Structure 1
Amino acid sequence: MSTTTVLRDPTAEAAPVRRARRTPPWSLDDITVALMDIGKMRGDEFIDRLEQLFAERGVATKRWKKPTNTRTAPVEMLQEIAEEADVVVVALSDCGSCTSCSTHDLNDLDARGVPGVSVLTEEFRSAFAGQCETIGFDGASIFVPHPVQNRTADQLYAMAENVIEDVICAITRRK
């Protein structure tokens, strides 16, 4: 079997129009959700709870972790997610560089056929919107309170519990 590798477009990031995001599936039945940990400190605890909440709903998940939050994900990792998952949750951005990189990762995965959502802190709502505008992508997002690093594990778990239904709605056509 032949494998196709999709590379990033190195041209300038100035898109005249926004590309609509890929249409997500109707439900999470028989779907694998990729949980992409961008590598921010304490983000793994938030993702741990998301993973538990998906499991409680009978939804299959698979996790990936970026080597660093200040760069886009390696192409090989994006390709692996595209081959092994149906939708993606990219989390947890709480600064400018990781918001930019996560938005690119979300766009790259969408272009590979994996619709998803990025979870970011409120402080970076406008940064996400600006990044989407610049790269021409109508990305989906969910926002949680800022900051993340000084929260307890219980607080991070509660944040995940507060947004799980929004996450599910963003990665499905459920409203």
Structure 2
Amino acid sequence: MCASTIRTVGASTLEILDPRGEVEYQSLLITERLDSLKGATVGLLDNSKSNADIFLKAIGEHLQSEYGVEEIVYRRKDKSPIPADSIADQLHSQCDAVVNAYGDCGSCTSWCVYDSIDLEKKGTPVATINSDEFVKLGQSEAQSLGMPGLPLVTVTHPMGDLEKPEVLARAESAIEEIVDVLTTDRNDLEEAFAERFLKADEELGDESFYCPI
């Protein structure tokens, strides 16, 4: 606790303490990015949200046909609100980079960001997909986990109830930013993403915690 104010009441002096602590954490940098995706192995981390498999497999096809990615490694979590754990270990050991999809509600956004930061700490660059309705929550989670510069690639909300052609269209519209996130100098990414969606001292509104539809 920190002393807040000193007050005098009659002949007595009272020290009023503020019970709120100050949270301090080390701000971690994202890992170094790739020079190029040509010849690389890229992992696709599916958090089991509806349409994530369609979205990611379309991303994998674009990466191979347009950017020279040599191999795609696809892994799917049993459910979204759990850590990837051994799957993250597999992707780190087998892949040069990972695309993680996606956060489009409260709990899945939190765990999506957690998994990406876990991989970044291991040394694997990640493009993390968030829907625009939950990207502020995603950035808040990244800040609280000590990696405020985690790059979040946004797609239009919602994703889960779309027909396949629309999912494929959104994958196509996201591919360029995904490639940029995996290949741009990390210092430039840190500068671009650290407070892109949520300032360091900004508080989340209630609308950031639930789906509006």
Q: TM-score range by the shorter chain?
A: 0.7 to 0.9
What's the counterpart of residue 72 of structure 2?
61
By relative contact order (CA 8 Å, sep 6+), the higher-ranking structure is 1
Q: State the 1:15 CA deviation.
A: 5.2
The one-letter code of the counterpart of 2:183 is: T
Q: Which runs of 4+ in 1 moved over 3 A?
A: none
CA contact (8 A) 1:27 1:173 kept: no
What's the counterpart of residue 48 of structure 1?
57
CA contact (8 A) 1:132 1:139 kept: yes
The one-letter code of the counterpart of 1:170 is: V
The reply to whether residue 28 of structure 1 matches residue 37 of structure 2 is: yes
Task: Indicate the SS of the match to 1:149.
Answer: coil
Of 148, 152, 159, the match for 1:141: 152
Task: Indicate the SS of the match to 1:123.
Answer: coil
Aligned counterparts of 1:80 and 1:167: Cα–Cα separation in 2: 21
Task: Indicate the SS of the match to 1:20.
Answer: coil
Task: Indicate the SS of the match to 2:134.
Answer: helix
Of 154, 171, 179, the match for 1:160: 171
Q: State the 1:125 CA deviation.
A: 1.1
**Root-mean-square deviation over aligned CA pairs:** 1.5
Q: State the 1:143 CA deviation.
A: 0.5
The reply to whether residue 84 of structure 1 matches residue 87 of structure 2 is: no
Which structure 2 residues correspond to residues 1-16 of structure 1 after superposition, within 5 A? 16=25
Aligned counterparts of 2:141 and 2:127: Cα–Cα separation in 1: 14
CA contact (8 A) 2:32 2:123 kept: no
Of 180, 188, 198, the match for 1:169: 180
What's the counterpart of residue 28 of structure 2?
19
CA contact (8 A) 2:42 2:95 kept: yes
Q: What is the aligned length?
A: 161
The one-letter code of the counterpart of 1:42 is: N
Aligned counterparts of 2:76 and 2:119: Cα–Cα separation in 1: 14
Aligned counterparts of 1:40 and 1:150: Cα–Cα separation in 2: 10
Aligned counterparts of 1:81 and 1:15: Cα–Cα separation in 2: 31
What's the counterpart of residue 119 of structure 2?
109
The alignment's TM-score, normalised by the length of structure 1, stands at: 0.87
CA contact (8 A) 2:98 2:124 kept: yes
Larger radius of gyration: 2
Structure 2: which 5+ residue stretches go unaligned? 1-22, 189-213
Instruction: Give identity over the alignment, percent.
Output: 25
The one-letter code of the counterpart of 2:110 is: S
